[in-house]
Chains A and B, each alone.
Chain A
Amino acid sequence: MAALINVPAKARRGDVIEIRTLTSHIMETGFRHTADGRLVPRDIITSFTCRYNGTEIFRADLFPAIAANPYLSFFTVAKESGKFEFEWTGDNGYSSTASASITVE
């Protein structure tokens, strides 16, 4: 499982809609040590973006204090039918994408 997305399938034009996302990631802080004293290297998601029909509508920077499997929810206004695209990027070249469609009436 890469990511979970919850975007309403339908909305009326002008409605405020909630978007929820959850992606599986260990979010290793880089502050922990193994039993034999070696540092566990940092491995986190550092950035999340959401585009609505190509326009960025939401961005978040993530930091080591954020727990594993980051859950983000935010609101936007349903303007037109189309596609939401989500992207997570992070340490070690991590990149993951997802998308969801909406019909606006």
Chain B
Amino acid sequence: MSTRPVTRRNAVLGITAAAATLARPSISRARSAGLVVVVGGGFGGAACARALKRANASLDVTLIDANRVFTACPFSNEVIAGLRDIQLQQFSYDKLAADGVFVVSETATRIDPQQQSVTVEDSTSFFYDRLVLSPGIDFHVEALPGYDDAASEKMPHAWKAGAQTLLLRRQLEAMDDGGTVAIAIPANPSRCPPAPYERASLIAHYLKTKKPRSKVLVLDAKDNFSQQRLFEKAWKELYGDMIERIALSQGGRVTSVDAPTKTIVTEFGNYTPDVANVIPPQRAGHLAQIAGAADATGWCPIDPVTFESKLAPNIHVIGDACLGGGIPKSASAASAQGKACAAAIVSLLAGRAPEAPRLTGVCYTTVAPGYGFSLAGNYRPRGDIFAEVEGGATSPVDAPRELRAREATEAERWFQTITADTFG
């Protein structure tokens, strides 16, 4: 139960005109089972906000995100390869609002763990009993000298879906046949570990069909990667030697870039590709840093049973930003974490002990239209992190094309399901 006086919140909300719409009838406040603010409306935050409201309609749930429209990352590699419209990736928060979630389209600028408040750009503050941060990732630009916002306009990362996705697509469309597309891949942890290789595959598909003399150069800060044997088999089958990968131990780690000359510098050489897709090293989203929830690794340590930050009280961190251990940073994992975190918060606010969650993460990869494979894992808290438990499955390396076709169809169905579940 909220122990916070009603007047305190109303006093702050009274400051601005916009806040008038935020003030609720005192009767609903009196019945509130608690104030929960969720910052970040991606797969994690939106799933959490919705699950909170569904579990207990008398909770006051506010969802804060700078964007009115969410652009999903899963399937955005298809957009880059010209196989899909970006509109299919975009979702509004209207249905969440209809569920009773109070949606605020503003940038959160300040988090005060003592006051238990979040302040947005127009200086409205929102008090909370429990705060959920689902800030996703930011780029660790200090780890990649030469890369900044201006550089990303020449050498797009396309690792947050939206304008960057379309920029990379336009650069591919503008490239002459015979050109080289380089993809710089960072070390783990990073958002969606198999996705850079899916991107290499789908760009190769685009080039094979439209610009067959071109090639894809993968500069990789890792020696081994997720689903490697499945990818390498598919590349050989579908694209011959169109994709060249330089692994860490072959000098593939990118150490800096020079945007004006579009140069990618590795430990042992320089590359000047026609299109440079630079995926920088990553860390928890900026909001986690300002909340004091991120540690020296750049990520957020949590109690895996409740997702409570180990560093900031009454703050929960879900999705890509948290130190999840064995659980990959994916939309599916974020959604599962959002729901589990909601259940924990409902228990905590009611004074009950939360149950340890069992999470499922599934990850579909499409390497060409009609050619997909998948990875599914189950995870439970162990110590400070999530550890994989029995019941996981990965697609077999040797399988008939019918299975690949079926998995490509399942991938599309998975996307329909998770987006309907979260935003529909």
- Chain A positions within 8 Å of B, measured between CB atoms, are 1, 4-6, 20, 22, 24, 68-69, 71
Q: How far is the CA of A5 from the CA of B248 in the complex (A)?
A: 14
- Listed by A's residue number, 14 A-B pairs whose Cβ atoms lie within 8 Å are A1-B250, A4-B250, A4-B251, A4-B268, A5-B268, A6-B269, A22-B249, A22-B251, A22-B268, A24-B249, A24-B250, A68-B249, A69-B248, A69-B249
Q: Which residues in A have their C-beta under 8 angstroms from that of B223?
A: 69
In B261-286, which residues have CB < 8 Å from any A CB? 267-269
When C-beta atoms are compared, the residue in chain A nearest to B250 turns out to be A1
> What is the CA–CA distance of A20 and B267 in the complex, to the nearest angstrom?
8
Bound: A24/B268 CA distance, A? 14
In chain B, positions 239-256 with a C-beta closer than 8 Å to chain A are 248-251
- Chain B residue numbers with a CB within 8 Å of A71 are 267
| B249 near A20: Cβ-Cβ < 8 Å | no
The 8 A-B pairs with the shortest beta carbon distances in the complex, nearest first, are A69-B249, A4-B268, A4-B251, A6-B268, A20-B267, A1-B250, A22-B251, A24-B249
Residues of B within 8 A of A (CB): 223, 248-251, 267-269
Alpha-carbon separation in the docked complex, A80 to B250 (Å): 29
Bound-complex Cα distance A71 to B251 (A): 10
Question: With the chains together, A92 CA to B338 CA distance in Å?
Answer: 55
Dominant secondary structure of chain A at its interface with chain B: strand
A6 touches B249 (CB 8 A): no
Number of A-B contacts (CB under 8 A): 22
Q: Which residues of B contact A69 (CB under 8 A)?
A: 223, 248-249
Q: Closest A-chain residue to B247, C-beta based? A: A69
- A-chain residues with CB within 8 Å of residue B249 when the two chains form the complex: 22, 24, 68-69
Q: Which residues of A contact B250 (CB under 8 A)?
A: 1, 4, 24
* A22 CB contacts on chain B under 8 angstroms: 249, 251, 267-268
Shortest beta-carbon distance, B244 to chain A, in Å? Answer: 13
Give the CA-CA distance A97 to B214 in the complex, in Å: 35
Distance A20 CA – B268 CA, assembled complex (angstroms) = 8
CA A24 to CA B250, docked complex, whole Å: 8
Q: Given A4-B268, A20-B267, A20-B268, output 17 extra A-B contacts at Cβ < 8 Å.
A: A1-B250, A4-B251, A4-B267, A5-B268, A6-B267, A6-B268, A6-B269, A22-B249, A22-B251, A22-B267, A22-B268, A24-B249, A24-B250, A68-B249, A69-B248, A69-B249, A71-B267
Closest to A23 in B: B249
Minimum Cβ distance to chain B for residue A59 (Å): 21
Instruction: Give the residues in chain A near B269, CB-CB below 8 Å.
Output: 6
CA–CA, A71 and B250, complex, Å: 10
Complex-state Cα separation, A68 to B247, whole angstroms: 13
Separation of A1 and B250 alpha carbons in the complex (Å):
8
Q: Chain B residues near A20: list those with CB within 8 A.
A: 267-268
* B248 smallest CB distance to A (angstroms): 8
In the complex, what's the smallest C-beta–C-beta distance from A39 to chain B, in angstroms?
A: 25
B267 to A, closest residue via Cβ: A20
Residues in A with CB closer than 8 Å to B267 are 4, 6, 20, 22, 71
Bound state CA distance, A68 and B224, in angstroms? 13
Chain B CB within 10 Å — which of A1, A22, A24, A68 has the most? A22
Chain B residues contacting A68 (CB-CB under 8 Å) are 249
- In the bound complex, residues from chain B placing their C-beta under 8 Å from that of A1 are 250
- Contacting residues, chain B, for A6 (C-beta < 8 A): 267-269
- Look across to chain A and name the residue whose beta carbon is closest to the beta carbon of B251: A4
**Nearest B residue (CB) for A22:** B251
B338 nearest CB across to chain A (Å): 37
Shortest A67–chain B CB gap in Å is 9
